[in-house]
Structures are given as C-alpha cells and as structure tokens.
Structure 1
Amino acid sequence: MVAANNLLKGGRCLLLSRYNRSFIINGRQLFPLPPSPRKPTLSLSSIASLHSIPSTFTVAIPSPTRGRHVGCLCSVADVVDSSSSNSPSLAPAGSSSPPTEVLDMEAVREAAKLLDIRVGKVLKAWRHPDADSLYVEEVDIGEAEPRTICSGLVKYVPIEDLQDKKVIVLANLKPRNMRGIKSSGMLMAASDAPHENVELLVPPEDSVLGERIWFGSEDEKENQPAAASPNQIQKKKVWEAVQPHLKTDATCIATLDGHFMRTSAGPVVSKSLKNANIS
C-alpha cells in the first residue's frame, strides 16, 4: 500500500481518443482492459481521498460515448507526479501511434488473455501464386471450415515441414488481404535476434485441435475470459502490447514473461531456438 496523496499531487486525466479509448493519467498512457475480480476498482475522484491505495488497481474512467465507466488496470508506477521533469509529455488528442510504454507485466498478462491462440493443423500448403515469400495454408483450428492463412515462411521453413503438421494459430487478428488472398490468422513462430532462423511453434503431439492456449499454471486455464473480437484486438493494440514479451526460454518452451504457453497436453515449444523472440 502506498500513500495516495504522495502519488496524485498535480494529477490529471485526459481522454486521448473516443475511438482508441486510451487515457493519460499524470503523463502515463493507459489502455482499457477487462475488470479483474482480484483488483479493487477506484474512481479518479476517490483515489485522492484515500489514505493509501493498493499496489495494483483498476481506475474507473467515464466513457464519453455511452455514459458508462471504462476500467483501466493501473499500478502505483502508473500514477506519478506530473510536475516531475521526468514525466513524459501528453500525447496529442486522437493519437493512433502504438504505445511506447506498456503497463506493468500483470497488465500485459491480462491483455494476453484477450488473444485467441489455438492449436491447429495444416491440412494443405502451397506457394502463393503472386508473392514469392509467402505460403498459403489451409489450417484446421476446430471450426466448421478450415482457415486460409498466408505466412511469410518460404525463406525459413521447407513446405514439407508444414504439410499435416500441428501448429499454433493466433486466430483473432483482423483478416488481411495479402496479394489477393484473404488471410485469417497467423502461424506463430520463434526467431533468433537477426531473424536468420525461424521455427514454427509446436504443440504437444496429443494436443486437441482447436483448444485455446493459455499462459501460466495448469489451474489458470479456468480463469480465461472470452477472447476479444478482431476489431477490439486491433483498436486496443493488444497484440502490439503482448508480442514484445513473448519469448522461448533456455529449454525452448514458449513463454510470456516466464509463464509457460500451455495446452492441456503440455507446453508449447520451439524445436531448437532458445531465448528467441516469438511472433
């Protein structure tokens, strides 16, 4: 617990954009996340009147468009004295640039729960007819019809390593037109720092097609909220906030800040890339 009056001296709140729904509190950009039952919710007006506040909490900020409150998960580090010379300047209203600062790692883990990451299987793969660097895949992720996904893996993965292989699919990205073919998802892969070696992430062989993947202990599977819509993922820049924190560890297991990427059959891995970036 930290004394509230020491944190909120000179504080202010600014709605940056009615579309982006990001906020500035004392010079720190915050992004709305689903309310957490484990975190107390405080209004902006009530924080200043408290003698102390929790180290992590949710700020309830009125939404100008629907007359309701939007929750922003915050930590003590987010609420700083804006009179300090080290405080960042306020972003211009309507700014749509990606966040340069991410909330504390607990908030990143909460954001990761909005991603719909699933076990899939490549049914068929072929070279894109109009793009030398792209494969086109039909991928079963447990839906009524397979997804069509384009992947820039031609330089890194032989096509025979795709056919009939289980893969990890980020399924709630907004579909993109890639040289005339609509791509609905992304195959997740690990790569070394110079991006010279790339390997697809691999689920356990006995994992279930379509199972949604989670991060953390086996018990945390039950605490997953519903995945966000592709529009929400894009507008709130969820993937941009989470992706920099996805890595393989020293044993090639895929992690988010040290928390394993899991299926019910076990963790997701890279074949050989250690301490590698995941995208």
Structure 2
Amino acid sequence: MENTDNLFNPSLAAALIKLDPEDGEQIMEYFKTHALLTREKALLQASVRDQKKLLVENGKLKKDIEQLRVQLQEKQRRRTAKALLSPAPPPQTLSPALTAPVNQPSSSAGVTAAVPGNPPPPPSQERRDRQGRRRRGERKGRPTSDSLSLGAEPCIDVSRLDLRVGRILSVRQHPLAENMSVQEVDMGENGPRTVVSKLGVKTQLEELQGSLAVLLCNVKACKLRGVVSQARLLCCSTSDDSSELVTPPVGSNPGDRVTFLNYPGDADKELQSKQRVWELLQPDLQVDSKGVANYKGCGFEVKGKGLCRAPSLTNCIIR
C-alpha cells in the first residue's frame, strides 16, 4: 500500500496548519486515517466478491461431476447389456484328420462302421426336437425373450416427460375441494385441456388467468374429486407453502416443447403408472439460486427462446 502522505497535497496540509496552528496536524492525521480505512474497506469488499465467485464456480464443477458420473453409469449399464446379448462363440470343430474314419473292417453288408462315440440321432428324433424348440420360442440363432428384456428396459431420465407450454384461459375453484382449483389450458391443440391443480394457499387464482405455464402432458387422464384432469401444472414451492408457476421464456407460444440439452430422448406417449417415472424424476426437478428451473443442473429450455424460470422463488423444489 502506498504511503498515505502521498494522498494529500502538501499545500493543503500547510494551509490547514496555517489556519489552525493548534489542531491542524490533528485534522491532517484524521484525514489520513479515514483514507486508510476507506481503502482497506474496498480491499475487503473485493475479497468477498472473489470468494462468492469461487463458490459459484465450485457449484458448477460439482454439477458437471454429477453429470459425468451419471453418463458413466449409463455407459457401463449399456456395455453390460450388450455383453449379455452378444452371441456365444461357435463351437470348435475337429480337423478333418481327426474326423476321418479309421480303417475299420467292413461289415458283411459292405458298409463302413462309424468312429466310436455317440451315434447321431435318428431323423425323427431331430425333427421332434426342432418342433419342441419352436413351441418354446427357442429358435436357433435367435435370443430368447428373457435375454432381450435385459437391454429393452428404458432408462429413467427427464427426456421421457412431455413438457409443453400452455396458456391458462380460465381458473375456478374446485366444486368439491377447497384446496384444489380447475384450469382450462390452451396447449396449441384442437381444444383446451382441463387441469386440476393443488396450489398453495397464498396463490391468488384470479392472477393466473392469461398466464403462460409449463405442463406435463403425457400423464394418464384421471378423475380428481369428480373432475377429470388431463395434464399436470408444474409449480415451484417452498417449505412455507409459497408457490409459483414455472414460467416459460418471453416469446413462448402454447404447444412449444420444453427440452433438455443433455437429455435429447423422445418423450413417452403416455407415462405408465407402474413404472413410477414421475415419482423417480421429481426429486431432481428444482429451481436453482438464480431462479432457473432445471433437472440435475440442466435447464428447462424452449429452443430458440430461452430458459424457464420461477418469477421470484429460488432454491426450491418443482412439483
């Protein structure tokens, strides 16, 4: 740090001493001390900013490591399935020298005897064995259904969710449930979908009308307290029951697909309840410290338009 004496003009110090010979030097010392404290405060603030920047970078590195770990596990699972499905090596055949018939005395009928060993099965027995394999589905050269099932099981990731943008046309209170509401939502289809939602007690229903939202569209239609719900409205909520709609980026239109850069798979036509896909994925659907909706650090994205966000909440779950 440079000397504090250089912070002030010597003529200013001389003028102060001349005006006030008794207290001029004390005033100058006060000014110097104040300047020194100001500089130390600025250095401390810069150090705090650097520390926050490091914390953010560490968070990003942790997310990258987690994504790499998931990808590695997926590759290992595929490699194991491929090894199980690969055909067995063909049996080794004996050389012609070993299979050639040994000099055997011919029988009285003039027929040469075969090499000692198991006699070949008669044609009728071989035919019966082939028919039995067909009945059991064990055709030669084809893997059985049990071996195919090892590689056919789909992986569970967010690409299986059909997430789309919708516009809420109307909102009303559920006639049979105080904690539920019924929305009519334009999904860019021939007609609107009816959605039954359980929103937080602090949510003002009249404010939702006309808003854009993100909906899960490939859930099975089900009846909730007498009203059939055809989709699921995604909300972010905190422990104190504060909730908001997950909001698409500006410029989105009803029917726009919400995708994930690291998970490019196709969505299921309809999620099967026995597979519990939503229940397995929902714990990893969160809003980060910047208010961006994401799955394992990968943001909800409407291609060409931007990321989906929570209007004001951060570090909360999506349900």
**Is TM (by shorter chain) over 0.5?**
yes
Question: Which of 194, 197, 203 matches 1:157?
Answer: 203
* 1:272 and 2:312 are equivalent in the alignment: yes
Q: Which amino acid aligns with 2:181?
A: Y
* 1:208 and 2:253 are equivalent in the alignment: yes
Residues 125, 114 of structure 1: alpha-carbon distance in 2 compared, 3 angstrom cutoff: same
Contact persistence 2:200–2:241 (CA under 8 A):
no
Residues 128, 42 of structure 1: alpha-carbon distance in 2 compared, 3 angstrom cutoff: same
Residues 144, 251 of structure 1: alpha-carbon distance in 2 compared, 3 angstrom cutoff: same
Q: Give how far 1:216 is off.
A: 2.5
1:121-171 CA-partner distances (Å, limit 9, x unpaired): 001111111111111000011111110001111613101221011001011
Contact persistence 1:201–1:270 (CA under 8 A):
yes
Aligned length: 189
1:176-215 CA-partner distances (Å, limit 9, x unpaired): 21111001111101111x2521111000131121011112
**Hey, what's the Cα distance between the residues in 2 that align with 1:213 and 1:188?**
12
Which residue matches 1:254?
A: 293
1:33-71 CA-partner distances (Å, limit 9, x unpaired): xx99xx65514365999xxxxxxxxxxx9645xx84452
1:215 partner SS: coil
* 1:182 and 2:228 are equivalent in the alignment: yes
**Hey, what's the Cα distance between the residues in 1 that align with 2:214 and 2:149?**
35
Q: Which amino acid aligns with 1:216?
A: L
Identity over aligned pairs, percent: 32
Q: Which amino acid aligns with 2:199?
A: L
**Hey, what's the Cα distance between the residues in 1 that align with 2:209 and 2:183?**
9
2:280 partner SS: helix
Residues 68, 249 of structure 1: alpha-carbon distance in 2 compared, 3 angstrom cutoff: same
Which residue matches 1:235?
A: 274
Which residue matches 2:82?
A: 42
Q: Which amino acid aligns with 2:291?
A: C
User: Any residues of structure 2 matched to 1:1-279 within 5 Å, and which?
Assistant: 42-44=82-84, 63-64=145-146, 68-71=148-151, 108=156, 111-153=157-199, 155-192=201-238, 194-216=239-261, 223-225=264-266, 227-230=267-270, 232-264=271-303, 265-279=305-319
Normalised to the residue count of structure 2, the TM-score between the two structures is 0.53
Contact persistence 1:138–1:146 (CA under 8 A):
yes
RMSD of Structure 2 on Structure 1 (CA): 2.9
1:168 partner SS: strand
Contact persistence 1:148–1:182 (CA under 8 A):
yes
Higher strand fraction: Structure 1 or Structure 2? 1
Contact persistence 1:115–1:228 (CA under 8 A):
yes
Residues 244, 213 of structure 1: alpha-carbon distance in 2 compared, 3 angstrom cutoff: same
Which residue matches 2:44?
A: none
1:198-250 CA-partner distances (Å, limit 9, x unpaired): 11100013112101111236xx7xx442x2132x4423211111111011111
Contact persistence 1:166–1:205 (CA under 8 A):
no
1:148 partner SS: strand
Q: Which amino acid aligns with 2:171?
A: A
Contact persistence 1:62–1:70 (CA under 8 A):
no
**Hey, what's the Cα distance between the residues in 1 that align with 2:193 and 2:253?**
17
Contact persistence 1:262–1:268 (CA under 8 A):
yes
Residues 138, 71 of structure 1: alpha-carbon distance in 2 compared, 3 angstrom cutoff: same
1:240 partner SS: helix
**Hey, what's the Cα distance between the residues in 2 that align with 1:143 and 1:63?**
39
**Hey, what's the Cα distance between the residues in 1 that align with 2:286 and 2:198?**
19
Higher helix fraction: Structure 1 or Structure 2? 2
